[in-house]
C-alpha cells in the first residue's frame, strides 16, 4: 500500500463529509472498492496492526467488511469457490458497520434511509456490474488513458490477472497483445449490447435529443476548425443515419463541397431528406483510407468500421477529424459532451 492511496482514502472521507449525497456515496463506494481497497487486497502493509487499522477505516468508509472482500476476491483470483468463514477480524469489522449504521439511523434517520442507504445500494450495484463486465467470458482489458488515470490502471485487467501482485503503476509495462479488450471501461461495458446504431436511432425519435446533439457537436467543431485553413472538399464517412456533421459543416463551411460516403443506401436516402442535396454529394460506397489526398478534410465517425489506429498514424487527408470516446485524446481535441462520453480529435497529415 502506498502513500498516495492512503491520502486518497482520507480525501474520499472528506468529500463524503462535504457533499453527503446519493451520487457521491454511490460513486465513492464503487471507485474506492476498485482502486484503493482493491490495491490494499493485493499489496497490504508489511505490519499486521497497520492492516487491521486501515482495513477498519475502509470498512467504515465503504460499509463493506474488508476481510470479507479480501477473502472473496483472492478466491476469485485463485479460481476457487468462495465460502464464508468467520474470524475475529470479520466479526470486528461487521460490528463496526452495524454500529455506524445504528448511530446514523438513530441520529439522522432521514439521511440514513433516504441518502446513505440508496447511495450504498447503488454503489454495490455498480461494483457488481463492474465485476461482471470485467470477466464476461474472460478477463477483459480497456486501455483508455482517462479511465486508467482516474482509476489507477484498473483497465489493465487481463494483465492484472496474469500478475495480481504487480503494482498498479507497472501494469502498462505488461500490456498483453493477446488480451481480450473492449473500447468501453467496465462500468459502461453494458453499452456494447445497444450498439451505436441503436443509440443513433433513439436520437432520430427525439427532437430535443437532436437539438442537443447538434448544439454540442457544433461547439466542438467550431473550436477545432479554427485551427484549419478553409476546406474546399470535405468527406464525411458514414454520415447518413442522422447527418449531424453535414448539417453543422454546411453552416460552418458554407463554401465547401461536402461528400457523404456511406455503404448503407437507406441511411443515404434518409440523409437526403434532411439536407440540401444541391450542396451535398452522396456516395453509396464503403470508405477506404486508400483515398488519401482526395479531400481537404475527412470526418471519421465513432462507429468507424476499420483501423482507427491507422487513421491516427497516417491521416487520409490534409486534416482529419475523428469522433472518439472521451478518454481517447489525440492531436487538437475538444470534448463534445461528457454525457455522451464523446470528443473529436483533429489530426493532420
Domain co-membership, 248 together with 335 = yes
Say if residue 194's pLDDT is above 70.
no
Task: Check residue 193 and give its pLDDT.
Answer: 61
Task: Check residue 267 and give its pLDDT.
Answer: 82
Domain co-membership, 174 together with 214 = no
- pLDDT for 31-58, tens place per residue? 999 999 999 999 898 899 999 999 999 9
Which range marks the domain in which residue 165 is found? 139-192
Domain co-membership, 51 together with 113 = yes
Task: Check residue 33 and give its pLDDT.
Answer: 97
In the structure grid, which three cell numbers stand for residue 257, read together?
Answer: 463541397
Of 58-67, 98-107, 313-322, the one with minimum mean pLDDT is 313-322
Residue 138: Cβ within 10 Å count: 11
Q: How many CA atoms lie within 13 A of 174 on its CB side?
A: 19
Q: Is 236 helix (H, G, I), strand (E, B) or coil?
A: strand
**Which domain-ending residue is among 134, 152, 177?**
134
Domain co-membership, 124 together with 160 = no
Q: Is 148 helix (H, G, I), strand (E, B) or coil?
A: helix
Task: Check residue 241 and give its pLDDT.
Answer: 67
The domain tally of the chain equals: 3
Residues 166 and 151: their CA atoms lie apart, in Å, by 16
Yes or no: say if 264 and 237 are a contact pair by the CB < 8 Å rule.
no
In the structure grid, which three cell numbers stand for residue 119, read together?
Answer: 447511495
Domain co-membership, 272 together with 181 = no
Q: Is 256 helix (H, G, I), strand (E, B) or coil?
A: coil
Q: Spell out the residues 6+ positions from residue 87 whose beta carbon is closer than 8 angstroms to its own.
A: 67
**Which domain-ending residue is among 150, 171, 192?**
192
pTM above 0.85, yes or no: no
Domain co-membership, 210 together with 332 = yes
- pLDDT for 296-329, tens place per residue? 999 998 888 777 888 898 888 889 999 998 888 9
Domain co-membership, 23 together with 97 = yes
Alpha helix stretches (DSSP H) within the chain: 3-18, 22-34, 36-42, 48-62, 66-78, 88-107, 109-111, 117-134, 145-150, 157-162, 196-204, 207-225, 244-252, 265-272, 308-313
Domain co-membership, 237 together with 187 = no
**Which domain-ending residue is among 154, 174, 192?**
192
Residues 90 and 31: their CA atoms lie apart, in Å, by 22
Task: Check residue 291 and give its pLDDT.
Answer: 61
Domain co-membership, 130 together with 75 = yes
Quickly tell me which residue has 471507485 as its cell: 31
Q: What CATH number is associated with residue 328? A: 3.40.50.150
Domain co-membership, 185 together with 215 = no
Domain co-membership, 125 together with 150 = no
- pLDDT for 244-269, tens place per residue? 898 899 989 988 999 999 888 888 88
Say if residue 125's pLDDT is above 70.
yes
Q: Mean pLDDT score of the chain, rounded to an integer?
A: 89
**C-beta contacts of 146-149 below 8 A and 24+ residues apart:** 146/326, 146/327, 146/328, 146/329, 147/185, 147/327, 148/172
Domain co-membership, 234 together with 247 = yes
Amino acid at each position: 500500500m502506498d502513500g498516495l492511496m492512503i491520502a486518497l482514502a482520507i480525501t474520499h472521507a472528506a468529500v463524503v463529509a462535504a457533499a453527503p449525497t446519493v451520487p457521491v456515496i454511490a460513486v465513492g463506494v464503487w471507485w474506492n472498492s476498485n482502486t484503493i481497497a482493491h490495491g490494499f487486497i493485493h499489496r497490504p502493509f508489511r505490519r499486521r496492526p497497520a492492516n487491521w487499522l486501515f482495513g477498519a477505516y475502509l470498512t467504515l468508509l465503504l460499509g463493506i467488511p474488508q476481510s470479507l472482500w479480501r477473502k472473496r476476491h483472492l478466491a476469485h483470483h485463485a479460481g476457487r469457490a468462495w465460502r464464508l468463514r468467520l474470524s475475529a477480524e470479520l466479526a470486528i469489522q461487521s460490528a463496526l458497520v452495524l454500529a455506524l449504521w445504528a448511530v446514523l439511523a438513530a441520529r439522522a434517520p432521514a439521511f440514513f434511509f433516504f441518502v446513505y442507504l440508496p447511495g450504498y445500494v447503488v454503489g454495490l450495484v455498480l461494483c457488481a456490474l463492474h465485476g461482471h463486465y470485467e470477466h464476461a467470458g474472460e478477463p477483459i482489458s480497456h486501455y483508455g488513458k482517462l479511465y486508467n488515470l482516474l482509476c489507477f490502471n484498473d483497465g489493465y485487467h487481463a494483465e492484472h490477472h496474469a500478475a495480481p501482485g504487480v503494482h498498479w503503476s507497472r501494469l502498462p509495462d505488461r500490456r498483453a497483445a493477446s488480451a481480450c479488450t473492449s473500447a468501453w471501461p467496465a462500468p459502461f461495458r453494458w453499452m456494447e449490447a445497444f450498439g451505436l446504431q441503436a443509440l443513433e436511432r433513439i436520437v432520430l425519435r427525439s427532437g430535443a435529443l437532436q437539438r442537443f446533439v447538434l448544439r454540442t457537436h457544433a461547439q466542438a467543431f467550431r473550436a477545432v476548425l479554427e485551427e484549419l485553413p478553409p476546406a474546399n472538399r470535405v468527406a464525411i464517412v458514414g454520415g447518413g443515419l442522422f447527418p449531424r456533421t453535414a448539417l453543422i459543416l454546411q453552416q460552418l463551411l458554407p463554401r465547401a463541397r461536402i461528400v457523404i460516403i456511406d455503404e448503407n443506401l437507406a441511411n443515404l436516402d434518409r440523409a437526403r431528406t434532411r439536407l440540401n442535396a444541391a450542396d451535398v454529394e452522396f456516395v453509396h460506397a464503403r470508405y477506404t483510407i486508400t483515398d488519401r489526398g482526395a479531400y481537404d478534410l475527412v470526418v471519421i465517425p465513432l462507429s468507424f468500421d476499420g483501423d482507427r489506429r491507422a487513421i491516427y498514424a497516417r491521416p487520409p487527408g490534409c486534416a482529419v477529424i475523428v469522433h472518439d470516446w472521451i478518454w481517447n485524446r489525440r492531436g487538437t481535441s475538444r470534448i463534445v459532451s461528457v454525457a455522451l462520453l464523446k470528443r473529436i480529435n483533429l489530426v493532420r497529415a
